Amino acid sequence: MQRIGVFVCWCGSNIAATVDVNAVTETLAKEPGVVYATNYQYMCSESGQNLIKDAIRDQKLTGVVICSCSPRMHEATFRKAAASAGLNPYLVEIANIREQCSWIHKNKEEATEKAIILGRTAIAKVQLNAPLIAGESPVVKRALVIGGGIAGIQTALDIAEAGFEVDIVEKKPTVGGKMTQIDKTFPTLDCSACILTPKMVEVAQNDNIKIYSYSEVEAVKGFVGNFTVSIRKKARYVKEDICTGCGLCTEKCPQKNVPNEFNLGLDTRRAIYIPFAQAVPKVATIDPNYCTKLNTGKCGVCEKICTAGAIDYTQKDEIVEQQYGAIVVATGYNPIKLDNFEEYAYSQSPDVVTSLEFERLMNAAGPTGGVLLRPSDKTHPHTIVFVQCVGSRDVSGCGKPYCSKICCMYTAKHAMLCREKYPDTEVYVFYIDVRTPGKNFDEFYRRAVEEYNVHYIKGMVGKVAPSGGKLKVQASDLLNNEQLHIDADMVVLAAAIEPDKSARPLATMLTASMDTNDFFTEAHPKLRPVESPTAGIYLSGCCQGPKDIPETVSQASACAAKVIGLLAKDKLTCNPCVAHSDELMCNGCSSCANVCPYGAITYVEKEFRQPDRTMLVRRVASVNPAVCQGCGACTVACPSGAMDLFGFSNKQIMAEVDAICK
Amino acid sequence: MENLEIARELERISGVNPRKCMKCGKCSGTCPAYDKMEYHPHQFVSMVETGRIEKLLESESLFTCLSCFACVERCPRGVEPANIIEAVRLMKIRPQNENHLHAEQIPELLDENLPQQAIVSAFRKYKK
């Protein structure tokens, strides 16, 4: 006979204000099997937990139902309390009467009724709960960082510093990410390359870090502590260990007209190239889309002049398989495409540029050697118009609904640098709001206005029309209630930023959740900001949301701390609520294996004795409990009802449904 | 003078929620008839939001709007200022029970060279 205890929490007024906790307690006390029922102001507090522990001992409880907040909040707390009183922790059930009841209802009578039903449901389930013992699984002491920008670099360095091995997978030929393309960094205006390149070198030289450049993650299997990752090393047609990075090939290659992605297509490179002088690894890469030798079989200039003999036209993509305990996502961002914003004439005039392109035009290592020249006629621009919020805060469907966060500051930086280097330029910034929270950020923006005399205008540019070598800008000045017409030489668009396109397929591989904007979701928006809800997956940098460099670096280090915390453990406790198959009922149809997202189900040939005492070999499903995450997809897919989940058996769920419908 | 009752009625007629406006001014930045208007597209939205309707009803701006819909096309918040202006026009015209233009007048007024959009626009402006 079951002896069940029911504990109803008030959660201060969170539950008690909407739910009559006394009525719930009294009603549930009459349920079959319930021998003890009480309520308390804060069940999760120490005295609340003691109440539960004492009742377990005194009343010899065989099951506990706690009517409180979501199990996501305190299930672990209450299970621990039960375990310390000698009750198997899996004999504790939570009825969520806060998030799913008191918080969403106003009518006390209805909410109380619902709380009683939810409590009764949990009681029906706990009647059928069986004690479960959690197993343990080892932790592979190696981390994978996907993305080699500043976020990935910082996370990798911090993990390596703690003595663990880290691999960085970077899809470009060099690590460094967006920060390599940036000229100066706000609010101190120190040179981006000067602070980044030492870190890139550090990554390359650290014995604990291995860089897979020009590589992509192909497949991910396994679970926290035990991931198996396939990495595709794309053929760069250059032997990485032999190439000295002398760069001779990149000067002699006859294919000169390849758009240079490092300068965002503002100039050209050769078909064999090193992205920039400080690239890590400093190794040449052949672009197979443009290489004459690879496409026609003729040429071979680079092979002839390479004294090291590093060129290998026969190189093929290589797949490397590697084990990891933790995976860090640091896939970063990109500015959005501006196809939906034809009014700014981006596609019509080369003098309308994005802010990142402007960054290259101001950069000493950029296409103009750091001299600001109009892309169309290489003359000095005298009037420059900056447009903020291009595609940000846009719910019309053309752009992104969120604020891209970094644009106000980099636009202030660009405007300031323009006025500093070229005092003869007139600089206009059109803004909707200037958002500059952050240490020394607002002061920076005010300096642009007060000391550098940048014209900040509250309003938006409505259209840009190229005409006679000028850009006719029509805009509103809301504070003066005027429409402005400016003949500009250049227009700079602060394009919204979006997560890298590789993030979505990667999230699918990792079974990590994303929001509607393709930013990775954190396990808790405030309290677990660098972890994904999927165990063993961590988030670093802009893949989680728009961020500037200081914030990215802080998050990257926070992420590393979490990874180190995991890798420092020798064993992890497994979730015992996993699937298992009843071999006598399994007909070997493979339905479960087809739906399993973790690859936890395999098939074995097994001998069974038939009623006539002859033996029969049948193919039956077998679940690897270390890999199974207990999602339950197989239990639904199984046509013969052979698959069941510990802790959430079909019988238990039916009992819950019955209790609700009673 | 504020008249929130009329303002809510205008929201109903136009199907526009002026509170969606984030005051960026792109509508007025894009408006080709800006200089001909006493009140500009962003002001229409704001005046309807705050119920300052009477001034709008008296203003010539109602009929200087070209109905080119550039503001609707470019508004990042999907506010549709032209639709709100259209609703104010209807509010002006309907009680007077007089249309400036009747469908039967169109054929004789039709100029072959007139862009289609202008005809549709005129209809939007002058017809009930």
User: Considering CB atoms only, which of A399, A463, A475 is closest to B76?
Assistant: A399
Task: Name the region of A332 (left: φ>0; alpha: ψ -120 to 50; beta: rest).
Answer: left
The two tokens of residue A427 are 């600089």
Q: What is the widest separation between alpha-carbon atoms in chain A?
A: 100
- Mean pLDDT, chain A, integer: 95
The two tokens of residue A364 are 């000493």
Residue type, A399: G
CA quadruple B112, B116, B117, B120: dihedral sign: positive
Q: For residue range A107-142, what is the model confidence (pLDDT) as tens digits?
A: 999 999 999 999 999 999 999 999 999 888 899 999
C-alpha to C-alpha distance for A242 and A311, rounded to whole angstroms: 9
Q: Is A460 close to B77, i.e. CB distance below 8 A?
A: no
Going by C-alpha positions, the residue among A91, A86, A94, A113 that lies closest to residue A102 is A113
Specify the DSSP class assigned to residue A587.
Answer: -
Going by C-alpha positions, the residue among A196, A193, A192, A149 that lies closest to residue A168 is A149
For residue A652, give every residue at least 6 positions away whose Cβ sits within 8 Å of its Cβ, in sequence order, or none: A125, A128, A129
C-alpha to C-alpha distance for A11 and A34, rounded to whole angstroms: 22
Going by C-alpha positions, the residue among A488, A444, A450 that lies closest to residue A184 is A444
What count of Cα atoms within 13 Å lies in the side-chain half-sphere of residue A29? Answer: 11
Cis omega (within 30 of 0) on the bond before A187? yes
Cα of B78 to nearest chain A Cα, Å: 5
**pLDDT band at B92, cuts 50/70/90?**
confident
The two tokens of residue A493 are 């668009």
Please state the φ and ψ torsions of residue B70, each to the nearest 5 degrees. -60, -40
**pLDDT band at B100, cuts 50/70/90?**
low
Q: Is B29 close to A461, i.e. CB distance below 8 A?
A: yes
**pLDDT band at A625, cuts 50/70/90?**
confident
Pairing of strands A497-499, A490-495: unpaired
Q: For residue range A255-301, what is the model confidence (pLDDT) as tens digits?
A: 999 999 999 999 999 999 999 999 999 999 999 999 999 999 999 99
Residue type, A478: L
What CATH number is attached to the domain comprising B92? 1.10.1060.10
Residues of A within 8 A of B35 (CB-CB) are 483
Q: For residue range B47-62, what is the model confidence (pLDDT) as tens digits?
A: 999 999 999 999 988 8
State the helix-helix crossing angle for B41-50 and B81-96, rounded to 10 degrees: 70
Specify the DSSP class assigned to residue B18.
Answer: G
C-alpha to C-alpha distance for B16 and B78, rounded to whole angstroms: 9
With vertex at residue A386, the alpha carbon angle to CA A438 and CA B39, rounded to the nearest 5 degrees, is 105
Q: Within an 8 Å CB–CB cutoff, is residue A398 touching chain B?
A: yes
**pLDDT band at B126, cuts 50/70/90?**
low
Q: Within an 8 Å CB–CB cutoff, is residue A48 touching chain B?
A: no
**Across A322-335, average pLDDT:** 98
Q: Do the beta carbons of residue A660 and residue A629 sit within 8 Å?
A: no
C-alpha to C-alpha distance for A50 and A36, rounded to whole angstroms: 15
pLDDT attached to residue A624:
87
Cα of B20 to nearest chain A Cα, Å: 10
**Across A599-614, average pLDDT:** 89
Q: Within an 8 Å CB–CB cutoff, is residue A399 touching chain B?
A: yes
Q: Is B78 close to A396, i.e. CB distance below 8 A?
A: yes
Q: Within an 8 Å CB–CB cutoff, is residue B74 touching chain A?
A: yes
Residue type, A129: N
C-alpha to C-alpha distance for A398 and A430, rounded to whole angstroms: 19
For residue A46, give every residue at least 6 positions away whose Cβ sits within 8 Å of its Cβ, in sequence order, or none: none
Q: Is B78 close to A461, i.e. CB distance below 8 A?
A: no
**B78: nearest CA partner in chain A:** A396
pLDDT attached to residue A99:
95
CB atoms within 10 A of CB A516: 6
Q: Is B22 close to A432, i.e. CB distance below 8 A?
A: yes
CB atoms within 10 A of CB A628: 24
The two tokens of residue A624 are 């690897």
**Across B1-17, average pLDDT:** 86
pLDDT attached to residue B95:
73
Residue in this structure with the two tokens 């106003």, named with its chain if needed: A106
Going by C-alpha positions, the residue among B112, B25, B108, B47 that lies closest to residue A483 is B25
CA quadruple B114, B117, B118, B123: dihedral sign: positive
- The ipTM of this complex is 0.84
SS3 A13: coil
pLDDT attached to residue A154:
98
H or E segment at A219? strand A215-223
The two tokens of residue A368 are 């103009």
**Across A534-563, average pLDDT:** 97
Residue type, A656: E
Burial letters A423-458, b for 16+ CB under 10 A, else e: eebbbbbbbbebbbebeebbebbeebbeebebebbb
Q: Do the beta carbons of residue A167 and residue A233 sit within 8 Å?
A: no
Q: Within an 8 Å CB–CB cutoff, is residue A314 touching chain B?
A: no
**pLDDT band at B68, cuts 50/70/90?**
confident
Q: For residue range A461-520, what is the model confidence (pLDDT) as tens digits?
A: 999 999 999 999 999 999 999 999 999 999 999 999 999 999 999 999 998 999 999 999
C-alpha to C-alpha distance for A101 and A491, rounded to whole angstroms: 53
- Mean pLDDT, chain B, integer: 85
* Separation of CA A497 from chain center: 15
Question: In the predicted model, is pLDDT for residue A76 greater than 60?
Answer: yes
User: Exposed, middle or buried by CB within 10 Å (0-12, 13-18, 19+), for A111?
Assistant: buried
Question: In the predicted model, is pLDDT for residue B110 greater than 80?
Answer: no
Q: Do the beta carbons of residue A534 and residue A511 sit within 8 Å?
A: yes
Substitution target from A393, A398, A433, A460 for chain B, most B beta carbons within 10 A: A460
Q: Hey, what domains does chain A have and what are their CATH numbers?
A: 4-126 (3.40.50), 142-232+317-332+500-567 (3.50.50.60), 248-305 (no CATH), 335-497 (3.50.50.60), 579-646 (3.30.70.3270)
**pLDDT band at B127, cuts 50/70/90?**
low
Pairing of strands A34-40, A92-96: unpaired
C-alpha to C-alpha distance for A44 and A53, rounded to whole angstroms: 12
Distances in Å between the Cα of B42 and the Cα atoms of A91, B6, B71 are 62, 18, 9
The two tokens of residue A216 are 């992509």
Q: Do the beta carbons of residue A581 and residue A643 sit within 8 Å?
A: yes
Cα of B77 to nearest chain A Cα, Å: 5
Cα of B95 to nearest chain A Cα, Å: 31
Q: Within an 8 Å CB–CB cutoff, is residue A460 touching chain B?
A: yes
Q: Do the beta carbons of residue A547 and residue A554 sit within 8 Å?
A: no
Residue type, A11: C
pLDDT attached to residue B99:
57
More confident residue, A208 or B97: A208
Going by C-alpha positions, the residue among A65, A75, A38 that lies closest to residue A124 is A65
Question: In the predicted model, is pLDDT for residue A610 greater than 90?
Answer: no
Q: Within an 8 Å CB–CB cutoff, is residue A481 touching chain B?
A: yes
User: Considering CB atoms only, which of B29, B34, B77 is closest to A396?
Assistant: B77
Cα of B96 to nearest chain A Cα, Å: 31
Question: In the predicted model, is pLDDT for residue A250 greater than 90?
Answer: yes
Number of domains present in the structure of chain B:
1
pLDDT attached to residue A266:
94
More confident residue, A609 or A238: A238
Going by C-alpha positions, the residue among B80, B24, B36, B95 that lies closest to residue B62 is B36
Q: Do the beta carbons of residue B53 and residue B47 sit within 8 Å?
A: yes
pLDDT attached to residue A556:
98
Substitution target from A396, A433, A474, A491 for chain B, most B beta carbons within 10 A: A396
**A485: nearest CA partner in chain B:** B29
Question: In the predicted model, is pLDDT for residue A565 greater than 80?
Answer: yes
For residue A316, give every residue at least 6 positions away whose Cβ sits within 8 Å of its Cβ, in sequence order, or none: A235
Cα of A495 to nearest chain B Cα, Å: 13
Cα of A461 to nearest chain B Cα, Å: 5
C-alpha to C-alpha distance for A195 and A198, rounded to whole angstroms: 6
Specify the DSSP class assigned to residue A522.
Answer: P
Specify the DSSP class assigned to residue A575.
Answer: P
Q: Is A394 close to B77, i.e. CB distance below 8 A?
A: yes
Find the domain containing B91 and state its range: 4-126
SS3 A635: helix
Residues of B within 8 A of A483 (CB-CB) are 28-29, 31, 34-35, 40
User: Considering CB atoms only, which of B20, B24, B43 is closest to A432?
Assistant: B24
pLDDT attached to residue A575:
87
Going by C-alpha positions, the residue among A167, A156, A190, A206 that lies closest to residue A549 is A190
Cα of A345 to nearest chain B Cα, Å: 13
Q: Within an 8 Å CB–CB cutoff, is residue B125 touching chain A?
A: no
Going by C-alpha positions, the residue among A77, A33, A80 that lies closest to residue A59 is A33
Bridge partner list, A354: A493
